[in-house]
Every structure is written in structure tokens, then in C-alpha cells.
Homo-oligomer: A and B are copies of this chain.
Amino acid sequence: MFYTDYKLQFPVRVEKPNPLFAKALQQAIGGIEGEIRVAMQYMFQAWGARGNNKYREMLLNTGAEELGHIEMLSTAVALNLENAPLNMQEEMSADPVGGAILNGTNLRHILSTGLAALPVDASGVPFDMSHIYASGNIAADMYANVTAEATGRVLAVRLFNMTTDPGMKEMLAFLIARDTMHQNQWAAVIEELGGPEEQLPIPNSFPQSQENQEYSYVYLGFTKDGAEPPRGRWTDGKSIDGNGSFSLRPMEPQGREPDLGPARENSGAQSAQIKG
């Protein structure tokens, strides 16, 4: 169950409203790096959590925080739309200068919401819940969460660098700090569970004896002329999971060219395909 007190987690103020920045902020609401994604992701992970229930609670707790971040950002969008132009001046289309503010505005901020936020990204594309990663595997989910917070902080930093409004910078400095924490938080779960060397390869409950171990730790090359692909930590030394040693070799095809044979009668193919 969830509760609210109607208040903002952190103050949101805008000194100079800017519809173009409202459009940019949408990426942090409805973008794949945004807050709807993390709020829903942590909740769906919690609702399907199996094993120690403390992770369920931790996820729900942070999921509730992220809901409040959507709220902050939606408020920021609305405030940036204050004074946005609602109509076109007649001279606009004659004059290449006119219309510049509307050009940078997400027109749906006027047409669809009456100057408020939408659950869309900076291009106006609605958020699609297929981006909620909740695999039922806690380690895979933790990596997904580090990723979400990493791309989320990259985004917040880019927004911070883009704006010159002190209120917006203050809000983003707060959100960036929370992303710092959350990156560390999910990485801390991985550490608590034993770190990459114990968690990898994910899922670690599958006996590696059943995989084709000839191919488990070799970086394969797919260069046209068989030239050696670039060396690095991934070609030499112990593997990160500690279960093998990296090596390097060009790949040769182990299979033949497939031939599916002629098409079946009544399968809607052309006659030439059926004859084979």
C-alpha cells in the first residue's frame, strides 16, 4: 500500500520559464533513462521478489522515492511552461525569425495538456512499459538498476549543463545526488551477495558444466581477414567471475549454410518455391 502527503521531496522553482527546457525535462520523466522507468522497475522487481524479503522492502522503499521524483519533474515542466505562447502571431510564417519559441516547444504541452507534463520523452514518444526490467533474477536486476541509474545520472548531468536557471540547477543537483546514491545502492547489493566473482555468470544457479565450456572465456574475432581483434583485459588474465581464463581467437564457422528445403504445399508460397 502507498500513501502521500501531497508535498514535494525537494523544492522545485523556476526563475525563467523556458518551454524548450520543459521539453528537455520530459526525457527525465518519460524517457528510457527517466523516473517512470525506475519507479515502476523497482516496484515490479519488489512485487516478484523471491528469496530474502528484505530486498522487497528495500526496492519498494526506493520505488516510492522515485514516484516523488516524477512528481518533482512534472512540477518543473509545468513551471517552465508558464507564459508559453498559446497563439501564433500573424507575421510568423512570413518572417523566418517569428515562431522561434513555438518551434522549440513540444506542441502537445499546449494542445494536449494545457501547459503541464506528459508521460513522454523529449521527442514526445510515450513511455513504453517494456522497459521495466524485472527478470526474477536478483543479480540481473541489480545490474539493470545500476544501468538505469547510470543512464539516469548521465541524463541529469546533461540537463544540469544545459540549463542556466538557478532553480533548475538546484533541483537537478539534488536529483544527481540521489542518482549517485542509487548507483552505489544497487552495486552494494551485488557486493553484499558476494560481488561479481560470486554472482557471475548470471544466473549462477546454472551448472557451468552444462554449457559448452570451450566457448565460455574466449574473445572471438570476426574480422574479415582474420586480423586479430583488439586486446584488452577481456583477452588476458583470469575471468571476472574467477572461473576461467580469458583467451582470444578468430572464429571459424562450425555450422554449414542452412537449407530449409522447398516450401510446403498450401503454405502460401510461390509455385517456384514449392518445386524447390
Known: A50-B260, A86-B158. A4 touches B224 (CB 8 A): yes
> Are B268 and A136 touching (Cβ within 8 A)?
yes
Determine whether A155 belongs to the interface, using a CB cutoff of 8 Å to chain B: yes
> Are B131 and A114 touching (Cβ within 8 A)?
no
For A269, give its contact among B16, B43, B51 (CB under 8 Å).
B51
Chain B residues with CB under 8 Å of A233's CB are 188-189, 191-192
Chain B nearest CB from A56 CB (Å) reads: 7
Determine whether A38 belongs to the interface, using a CB cutoff of 8 Å to chain B: no
For A4, give its contact among B1, B193, B267 (CB under 8 Å).
B1
For A140, give its contact among B20, B147, B192, B265 (CB under 8 Å).
B147
> Are A129 and B131 touching (Cβ within 8 A)?
no
Chain B residues with CB under 8 Å of A118's CB are 44, 132, 134
Chain A, range 59-107, C-beta contacts under 8 Å to B:
60-65, 67-68, 70-72, 74-75, 78-79, 86-90, 92-94, 96-104, 106-107
> Are B65 and A220 touching (Cβ within 8 A)?
yes
Task: Scan A251-274; emit 1 where CB is below 8 A from any B CB, else 0.
Answer: 101111111111111111111111
Chain B nearest CB from A48 CB (Å) reads: 3
For A151, give its contact among B102, B133, B178 (CB under 8 Å).
B133
Query: Looking across the interface, which residue of chain B has its beta carbon closest to that of A143?
Result: B147
Chain A, range 17-32, C-beta contacts under 8 Å to B:
17-21, 23-24, 27, 30-32
User: How far does the alpha carbon of A11 sit from the alpha carbon of B254 in the complex, in Å?
Assistant: 6
User: How far does the alpha carbon of A138 sit from the alpha carbon of B60 in the complex, in Å?
Assistant: 29
Count of chain A residues with Cβ under 8 Å from any Cβ of B?
204
Chain B nearest CB from A172 CB (Å) reads: 9
Known: A97-B97, A138-B269, A177-B214. A111 touches B274 (CB 8 A): no
**28 A-B pairs in the complex with CB atoms less than 8 angstroms apart:** A1-B6, A1-B71, A3-B222, A31-B112, A32-B130, A47-B70, A50-B114, A50-B261, A86-B267, A87-B161, A93-B101, A96-B97, A96-B100, A107-B123, A108-B123, A111-B159, A111-B162, A112-B122, A119-B132, A128-B130, A176-B206, A177-B216, A180-B241, A188-B233, A189-B233, A191-B233, A193-B272, A205-B265
